């Protein structure tokens, strides 16, 4: 309901499969916070494309069962699976989409190849003994089951753009990353005026600038705003339209500019994070992510090519999250 209140959601944000007015389906997972990702289904005749799987096998198998129930002819065997990017909440269920050609950007494949869901399982087992950061991991991820996930990598990759036909329906894959991650891809169905954005859009939650540069992400928003789109399914949060894209772009520009002032003034990442006024984004979830965004922006401003240290960033987020609860 918050989506309506904020004017960024155009459909009720309820768990499960939503048939889209102009074709296709969205699978939504409120509240859209850490790990609660959305996915999509595009069908034409007896051909189907799944846009992203979910964080664990149980969630993914529930989703696939609902899709088969809604569109049996197209989904008794899936034809295509697109991974919009390499985060586990968009690809940990890949092994369950039997028969599908798995497509992603080359950069996404490289990022996925460097990770293993088993690491997440071990981390969660260790979390209770890890103090503040362990508590934060449990807060974010304890609802998910990372045991026994067989990493299943994309079998077909591209860089830049790839046009597919799902039945007779054109589907355009457009790489806009590195931005949120190294290889973000948008799944665009021009005939339906529909797009599945992966985590290039978070609605009602703070986005995460894991990779940057932020300019690519701002440009991706311009690209979406120039298209005739009626239905935009974000990676997290309620279904939206151009208003959701504008809100996200506004956030990125604001945080970039505010972080730059503080970088120029010599403030530390944490001091800048605490100093930036986020009153306009009060209703957006997972506010601790601001520290990742500031840290990545600082690296950009300093021309520092070293990737972020994820462990350090989780420690900073844990600290912020704890401070904000007290």
Of 56, 71, 89, 286, the residue at the interface with Zn ion (CB under 5 A) is: 89
Kindly state the smallest distance separating residue 131's Cβ from Zn ion, in Å: 26
Choice between 137 and 298, CB closer to Zn ion: 137
Stretch that binds Zn ion, among 8-16, 39-47, 79-87, 94-102 (CB under 5 A): 79-87
Stretch that binds Zn ion, among 56-64, 95-103, 195-203, 220-228 (CB under 5 A): 195-203
Choice between 24 and 235, CB closer to Zn ion: 235
Q: Is the C-alpha dihedral spanning 131, 132, 137, 140 positive or negative?
A: positive
| In contact, 67 and 51? CB cutoff 8 Å | no
# of chain residues touching Zn ion (CB under 5 A): 5
DSSP annotation of 202 reads B
Stretch that binds Zn ion, among 67-75, 83-91, 103-111, 161-169 (CB under 5 A): 83-91
Distance CA 260, CA 210 (A): 17
Phi and psi (nearest 5°) for 215? -60, -35
Choice between 87 and 296, CB closer to Zn ion: 87
Stretch that binds Zn ion, among 45-53, 82-90, 159-167, 277-285 (CB under 5 A): 82-90
Stretch that binds Zn ion, among 175-183, 212-220, 233-241, 244-252 (CB under 5 A): 233-241
Kindly state the smallest distance separating residue 90's Cβ from Zn ion, in Å: 6
**Sequence-separated (6 or more) residues with CB below 8 Å from residue 208:** 180, 199, 202, 289, 292, 293
Kindly state the smallest distance separating residue 169's Cβ from Zn ion, in Å: 25
Kindly state the smallest distance separating residue 202's Cβ from Zn ion, in Å: 8
Kindly state the smallest distance separating residue 87's Cβ from Zn ion, in Å: 5
Q: Is the C-alpha dihedral spanning 145, 146, 152, 153 positive or negative?
A: positive
| In contact, 159 and 106? CB cutoff 8 Å | yes
Of the candidates 197, 200, 218, 245, the residue with the CA atom closest to the CA atom of residue 300: 218
| In contact, 25 and 18? CB cutoff 8 Å | yes
- The continuous run of DSSP H or E covering 311 comes out as helix 310-325
Kindly state the smallest distance separating residue 170's Cβ from Zn ion, in Å: 26
Kindly state the smallest distance separating residue 301's Cβ from Zn ion, in Å: 26
Strands (E), 69-212: 80-82, 101-105, 156-158, 161-166, 169-175, 185-189, 194-196
Using CB under 5 A as the binding rule, whether residue 184 contacts Zn ion is answered as no
Restricted to residues 30-49, the positions that interact with Zn ion (CB under 5 A) are 37
Distance CA 301, CA 215 (A): 12
Distance CA 259, CA 261 (A): 6
Choice between 184 and 199, CB closer to Zn ion: 199
Using CB under 5 A as the binding rule, whether residue 235 contacts Zn ion is answered as yes
Choice between 35 and 276, CB closer to Zn ion: 35
Q: C-alpha angle with apex 284: 242 to 124, nearest 5 degrees?
A: 115
Stretch that binds Zn ion, among 107-115, 138-146, 191-199, 237-245 (CB under 5 A): 191-199
Of 111, 192, 199, 286, the residue at the interface with Zn ion (CB under 5 A) is: 199
Choice between 89 and 258, CB closer to Zn ion: 89
Which chain residues interact with Zn ion by CB under 5 A? 37, 87, 89, 199, 235
């Amino acid at each position: 309901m918050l989506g309506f209140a904020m004017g960024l959601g155009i459909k009720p944000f309820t768990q499960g499969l939503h048939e889209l007015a102009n074709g296709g389906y969205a699978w939504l997972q409120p509240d859209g916070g850490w790990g609660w990702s959305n996915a999509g289904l595009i069908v034409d005749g007896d051909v189907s494309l799944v846009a992203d799987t979910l964080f664990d096998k149980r969630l993914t198998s529930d989703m696939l069962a609902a899709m088969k129930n809604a569109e049996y002819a197209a989904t008794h065997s899936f034809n295509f699976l697109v991974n919009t990017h390499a985060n586990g909440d968009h690809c940990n269920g890949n092994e369950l989409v039997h028969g599908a050609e798995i497509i992603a950007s080359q950069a996404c494949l490289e990022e996925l190849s460097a990770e293993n869901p088993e690491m997440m399982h071990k981390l969660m087992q260790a979390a209770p003994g890890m103090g503040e950061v362990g508590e934060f991991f449990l807060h974010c991820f304890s609802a998910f089951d990372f045991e026994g996930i067989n990493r299943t990598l994309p079998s077909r990759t591209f860089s830049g753009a790839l046009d597919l036909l799902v039945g007779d329906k054109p589907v355009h894959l457009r790489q806009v990353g590195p931005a949120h991650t190294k290889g973000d891809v948008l799944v665009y169905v021009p005939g339906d005026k529909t797009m599945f954005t992966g985590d290039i859009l978070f609605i009602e939650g703070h986005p995460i600038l894991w990779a940057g540069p932020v300019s690519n992400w701002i440009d991706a928003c311009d690209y979406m705003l120039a298209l005739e789109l009626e239905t935009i399914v974000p990676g997290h949060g309620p279904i939206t339209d151009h208003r959701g894209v504008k809100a996200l772009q506004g956030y990125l520009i604001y945080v970039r500019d505010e972080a730059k002032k503080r970088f120029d003034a010599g403030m530390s990442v944490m001091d800048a994070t605490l100093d930036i006024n986020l009153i306009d984004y009060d209703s957006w979830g997972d506010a601790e992510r601001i520290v990742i965004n500031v840290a990545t922006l600082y690296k950009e401003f300093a021309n520092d090519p070293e990737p972020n240290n994820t462990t350090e960033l989780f420690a900073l987020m844990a600290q912020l999250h704890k401070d904000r609860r007290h």
